[in-house]
Amino acid sequence: MPSPPVVRSVADLRATLAGWRGEGLSIAFVPTMGALHEGHLSLVRLGLSRCDRVVASIFVNPTQFGPNEDLAAYPRDEAGDAGKLSVAGCHLLFAPSAAEMYPPGAATVVTVSGVSEPLDGQARPGHFAGVATVVAKLLNQVRPDVAIFGEKDYQQLQVIRRLAIDLDLGVEILGAPTARAADGLALSSRNAYLTEDERRRAPELAAALAEAVLALRAGVPVAEAEAQALGRVQAAGFGPVDYLEVRDAGDLSRMGPGPLPPGRAGRILAAARLGRARLIDNMAV
């Protein structure tokens, strides 16, 4: 099966999409940073179930990386990714350069207050301003009917939902369940950084969260469930742990320290380092 056509300019992207819209076709959009895995491809398939055409983007966005993060080392394989997208049924790949996305003189930054401030907002200052800016640009460039994001990056998903509402973007933001390996590890492009030994220990993060979810549902106080999960993660060799906290599933406000309030949806979220890899995960409570 041939790879999907690749466009690298906003003008060429819009020309293709205008043709589809002229035919009355609906469009789903899956933005990625490449190094695609089954989680990304599941988003493409979900897009196919919702719309007539699926556009995916690959852009390693420099503005969401901090000065000591892995921008230069982030895995890149556009040719391999294009082949995977083809098998998944993607119709078009948008792969712009940094200069196309941020031309000389670009001076606008989009910030989303509230939901972007805790968790990764504290651990990675400036990260969500970079995310919100590039996603706002991509959604404006593609103007899809539906845009699909994985729930593994749950805080990012909530930031984007708030962004789309506040800016009246007219796009449905759809969250898709976290794709996991058979042993429970959340799929991530950064899993490629794990050594063989680290890969064996990595599923302990998901296991600790799953154990905490059961405890919370049984009435164990939030603070106690968090402490037990943190101890299990640290015993597996993770460190530092940026956060492991139970939050409101909507606005990500803090929950605890007592038992979960009846009828209030929660989410337990964690970010921790294991060797070179910074792994994140979350589960509904």
Q: Show which residues are catalytic.
A: 40
Structural contact between residues 128 and 163, judged by C-beta atoms closer than 8 angstroms: no
Sheet holding 172-176, edge to edge: 6-7, 92-94, 53-58, 27-32, 146-150, 172-176
Helix (H, G, I), strand (E, B) or coil at 84: helix
Structural contact between residues 96 and 163, judged by C-beta atoms closer than 8 angstroms: no
Query: 112 forms bridges with which residues in the sheet?
Result: none
What radius of gyration do the chain's Cα atoms show?
19
CA distance from start to end of the chain: 42
Task: Dihedral sign for Cα 81, 86, 88, 89, please.
Answer: positive
What is the rounded distance in angstroms from the CA atom of residue 270 to the CA atom of residue 223? 14
What is the rounded distance in angstroms from the CA atom of residue 244 to the CA atom of residue 127? 19
